[in-house]
Amino acid sequence: MAPLTRRQLVQGSAAAVAVTSLTSLTSVKRFRPGSPGEELRIAVVGLNGRGGNHISGFQGLPNVDVVALCDVDSKVLARSKGELEKRKTEKESWAGGKVDGYTDLRKLLEREDIHAISIATPNHLHALQTIWACQAGKDVYVEKPVCHNIFEGRQMVHAAERYGRIVQTGTQSRSSTGIQEGIDWIHEGHLGDIRLAHGTCFKPRKSIGKVKAATPIPDHVDYDLYCGPAPNEPLMRGRLHYDWHWQFATGNGDLGNQGIHQMDTCRWGLKQDALAHGVVAIGGRFGYDDDGDTPNSILIFLAYDPAPILFEVRGLPHDRQAQSKGWGAGMDKNEGWSIGTTIYCENGHLVIPNSNNKSIAYDKDGVELQRWEGATSHFANFVEAVRARDTEMLNADILEGHLSSSLCHMGNNSYLMGKATHPDYIRAEIGDHGVGRESFDRLCEYMELNGIDPRATLPRMGPFMAFDPESERFTTHSEANALLTRSYREPFVVPQEV
């Protein structure tokens, strides 16, 4: 594939460009949407869950029109298409007109009149779909985590750079003025040196059940396209949609689902622009035996200098009594919040709740010093950057998404390299590391309160693995480098050269 000139990348080109890794595309035109008054035409890909938010988020912006939808489930596609066309007709401020539907993204990308795509598909599809879109001359808004593994995230960064595309990560906290101002305030030194970034994802996650045989795939689902880069194997869970989060073949557990938001604010708070130089994880899938294989409870230590990240995920409530009363109201809290980030400093701390619009500073005694609130549209930020052809305008450029997503993957990598380990041995390994010891003791107490004996149901402890942020590879336990990517199947291969 011949590289594009700078003129082609910046201004767009009407010349056909060969796309070798996307065989269904022979030639496409590069577009530049132009002035703010020119209509920006967008397609949304993946219509369950967040996909509906993407449709509303873009369709409500001035001179933006969602003209096409894509989903491998034809029933979901037909429903979403009908709903959008109805809303377009009824809402005067929205552009009206027909909405086109596709099950295969590759066919949609042949459309020369679509400027950008917005991706809300399962995690294992994000990278390949983003790379395909960049190669096809489209800008991309892609949900978190942007990638299924570390290799994919870096290839997405390369693709955006090579093809001059605007690629936004769906970590909408980055468009919160309330969070930005609070983080800037501690970076100015008002609370002294930063000592620790602590992220928590205490979110209720019940069992997904356990099937005795493969679940039949409905006729209205193109299962080969659904599997994409993942193995096309029988579906061994009861529900196709959403529960893919809890199987490593397609998802990354709650660490990569909800936790990515808090991991991002942890890294943001530490002002780190590279991956950590080491990681260790301890956890398990506790409280039930089901078809999920991602941990529902895990603690992760990511080594940064001078301040590290401690991250904790808990999918069970505080105790068995809370289980009986309803999980949602019975989750553990840290600094008053079940899901959030706390940046601990020498003279106080900054709390960033899971509200995406505020942060609160406290002194050493827990007295509130100041709070900041407010947020702008993350979708609008993407549109502004697309119109200006300026990646620096993005609040969450694809590089930011790659780094924060990959910290989650590092934690899962350590977990997958681990083995069931007696708590006494884990404590001996932790030694005098205060943060590590306290967090592991909290994990054991949480297990016991939920009726799980950590001496009988042993937690899995991963090794501490050193990591080179420059090469993005493990320098100890080199066998873990196999987890940085996956075995792809044709034609759904994330390319070595984009």
- CATH 3.30.360.10-classified regions of the chain: 177-373+398-484
Beta strands in 17-158 (DSSP E): 40-45, 64-70, 100-102, 116-119, 139-142
User: Is it the case that residue 24 has pLDDT exceeding 80?
Assistant: no
Beta strands in 255-354 (DSSP E): 278-284, 297-302, 309-314, 339-345, 348-353
**Residue 160: how many CB atoms within 10 A of its CB?**
25
- CATH architecture, domain 177-373+398-484: 2-Layer Sandwich (3.30)
Q: Which residues contact 75 (CB under 8 A, 6 or more apart)?
A: 218, 220
Lowest mean pLDDT among 12-21, 141-150, 337-346: 12-21
Q: How far apart are CA 233 and CA 430, in angstroms?
A: 39
The full length of the chain comes to 498
The answer to whether the beta carbons of residues 48 and 245 sit under 8 Å apart is no
Signed CA dihedral, 457, 205, 353, 448: sign only:
negative
DSSP code of 146? S
Residue 34 identity:
G
Instruction: Provide the terminal-to-terminal Cα distance of the chain, rounded to the nearest Å.
Output: 9
**220, containing H or E segment:** none
What 3-state DSSP class applies to 489?
strand
User: Is it the case that residue 165 has pLDDT exceeding 60?
Assistant: yes
Tell me the whole-structure pTM to 2 decimals: 0.93
- CATH 3.40.50.720-classified regions of the chain: 6-173
What 3-state DSSP class applies to 369?
strand
User: Is it the case that residue 27 has pLDDT exceeding 80?
Assistant: no
More confident residue, 327 or 363: 363
Q: State the DSSP string of 113-138.
A: T--EEEE-S-HHHHHHHHHHHHHTT-
| pLDDT for position 265 | 98
Nearest to 269 by CA among 202, 390, 338, 176: 176
Write out pLDDT tens, residues 356-384: 799 999 999 999 999 999 999 999 999 99
Nearest to 122 by CA among 47, 58, 24, 194: 47
What 3-state DSSP class applies to 322?
helix
| pLDDT for position 93 | 65
Write out pLDDT tens, residues 170-179: 999 999 999 9
User: Is it the case that residue 110 has pLDDT exceeding 60?
Assistant: yes
Q: Which residues contact 308 (CB under 8 A, 6 or more apart)?
A: 196, 197, 276, 301, 302, 435
The confidence band for 220, taking pLDDT boundaries of 50, 70 and 90, is very high
Q: How far apart are CA 314 and CA 202, in angstroms?
A: 5
Q: What is the CATH number of domain 6-173?
A: 3.40.50.720
| Average pLDDT over every residue of 326-349 | 94
| pLDDT for position 258 | 97
| pLDDT for position 492 | 98
| pLDDT for position 91 | 80
Residues forming a β-bridge with 341: 199, 352
Write out pLDDT tens, residues 242-270: 999 999 999 999 999 999 999 999 999 99
User: Is it the case that residue 13 has pLDDT exceeding 60?
Assistant: no
The confidence band for 235, taking pLDDT boundaries of 50, 70 and 90, is very high
Q: How far apart are CA 82 and CA 100, in angstroms?
A: 10
What 3-state DSSP class applies to 435?
helix
Q: Which residues contact 14 (CB under 8 A, 6 or more apart)?
A: 29, 30
Could you tell me how far CA 377 lies from the centroid of its own chain? 18
| pLDDT for position 308 | 98
The confidence band for 33, taking pLDDT boundaries of 50, 70 and 90, is low
Q: Which two tokens stand for residue 371?
A: 């709070």
Per-range mean pLDDT, top range of 234-238, 317-321, 327-331:
234-238
User: Is it the case that residue 29 has pLDDT exceeding 90?
Assistant: no
Average pLDDT, the chain: 92
Q: How far apart are CA 309 and CA 301, in angstroms?
A: 6
Helices (H) and strands (E) in the chain, counts: 15, 18
User: Is it the case that residue 1 has pLDDT exceeding 80?
Assistant: no
Share of the chain above pLDDT 90, in %: 88
What 3-state DSSP class applies to 202?
strand
Could you tell me how far CA 401 lies from the centroid of its own chain? 7
| pLDDT for position 327 | 81
| pLDDT for position 122 | 98
